[in-house]
Amino acid sequence: MINRHYLSMLQNKSVIRELSEYAARRGEEIGYDNVYDYSLGNPSVPAPQGFTDAAIRLLQTQEPVALHGYSPSLGLESVKEKVAQSLNRRFGMNYTAAHIFPATGAAGAIAHALRAVTEPGEEVVVFAPFFPEYIPYIEGAGAKARVVPAQFPDFQINFGALEEALSPAVGAVLINSPNNPSGVVYTKETLERLSSLLTEKSAEYSHPIFLLSDEPYREICFDGGSVPYTALFYPNTLTCYSFSKSLSIPGERIGYVAVHPDCEHAQEIVPMCGQISRGTGHNCPSSLIQLAMAEAVDETSDLSVYETNRNLLYEALTELGFTVNRPDGTFYIFPKALEEDSVAFCRKALAYDLILVPADGFGAPGYFRMAYCIDTDKVRRSLPALQEFVREEYGDRSLSEKQHEENKGK
């Protein structure tokens, strides 16, 4: 019989998708160059030449039977080895190939990691604001999301609320730093405090609480800063990575789970991912893509455009009186809307050809997300539209300033 659950999911159209479809239709009317589309997190810079060259070289020089043959279900050994060595070199870890499970992007990595370290019915803690797809990943594993409210205005962890959430039913905690949608990077202090609390609660409940660290934006960090490597702080960490953003290849579906060598069941988790894969039909990422990625494992696209865009938008938004945290990384910025109903706010923006995403789905109603992985030229051209939108819909600067003052007081 047709599955009623998945059939009913078709009724709930994603707001992001609806907006993105609107943007495409509007683009047909006025030219897509004139639509200030901040809806989608699709990288706008090319893959590094090293990736393209590696893929071409593999196709031109390798025996097709070997190149396109089945990857072992736990991944190509040479690829796992190169990923492990790269992480060890960069972060002082001591992974071996046996700790690396190649996956189809962070989506595949998180879906497998969640199934490996939770029992059905357990809770998985997520922190608002969060990537909305975390919910289907968690529910797909048979677990339940337990949302810890956002800590305003810095979007670090609200430890009071976390401690309350950490009941014995919690099997895992899922973090994302640099964060989609807030752009915040968790500080060392945040990670140390998180590690202490999880260690304490694991001991209290006599079972490990696993930490899943979703890090697709790890290489996009601004102001010369760097992102603390989560696994260094807590041994029961499964790092979920994607090359979608660092190599600008989201369509190629390549990433990994890296299991901390001192994690409980460290030797079993990657083989368990292989077993999980049998039921989902995931199998391994494309062999060609695994091999080309391994050749470019230490490269990144030129990611500097994202910092340029961040600077332009942060300055413009603060000048217009928005309450907004300055992103430390990613290509997202996450301001507070100028009215309580951020859906209404974003709908009004459409009249100015501004495509903004209300953050209700991210667990932070009243905020909105702008994905600034677009040409800097378009960001510049969007600023007068943004100004006009704010002035016409929400009055002149005096109102904005008043609100600005109010926000400061919070």
Site for a second copy in 36-95 (CB under 8 A): 40, 42-47, 52, 55-56, 59-60, 63-65, 67-71
At 237, list the tokens.
Answer: 């960490």
**Residues 322-361, mask of contacts with a second copy (x by CB under 8 A):** ----------------------------------------
At 341, list the tokens.
Answer: 């109903």
**Residues 190-219, mask of contacts with a second copy (x by CB under 8 A):** -----------------xx-----------
Q: What 8-state DSSP symbol labels residue 252?
A: G
At 220, list the tokens.
Answer: 């996009």
Tell which one of 129, 171, 181, 361 touches a second copy (CB under 8 A).
171
To a second copy, the closest distance from the beta carbon of 265 in angstroms equals 5
Contact of 151 with 163, CB cutoff 8 Å: no
The Cα 120–Cα 305 span in angstroms is 42
To a second copy, the closest distance from the beta carbon of 115 in angstroms equals 6
Who's near 402: CB < 8 A, 6+ residues apart?
none
Q: Is 144 left (phi over 0), alpha (psi -120 to 50) or beta?
A: beta
The Cα 24–Cα 32 span in angstroms is 7
User: Any contact of residue 275 with a second copy (CB under 8 A)?
Assistant: yes
Tell which one of 19, 23, 117, 258 touches a second copy (CB under 8 A).
117
Report how many residues bind a second copy under the rule CB under 8 A.
Answer: 79
Name the residue nearer to a second copy (CB basis): 153 or 168.
Answer: 168
User: Any contact of residue 287 with a second copy (CB under 8 A)?
Assistant: yes
Contact of 17 with 25, CB cutoff 8 Å: no
Please give the residues from 362 up to 381 whose contact with a second copy meets the rule CB under 8 A.
none
Please choose, from the candidates 378, 311, 364, the residue with its C-alpha nearest in 3D space to the C-alpha of residue 34: 378
The Cα 356–Cα 354 span in angstroms is 6
Please give the residues from 139 up to 158 whose contact with a second copy meets the rule CB under 8 A.
139-141
Tell which one of 80, 82, 112, 260 touches a second copy (CB under 8 A).
112
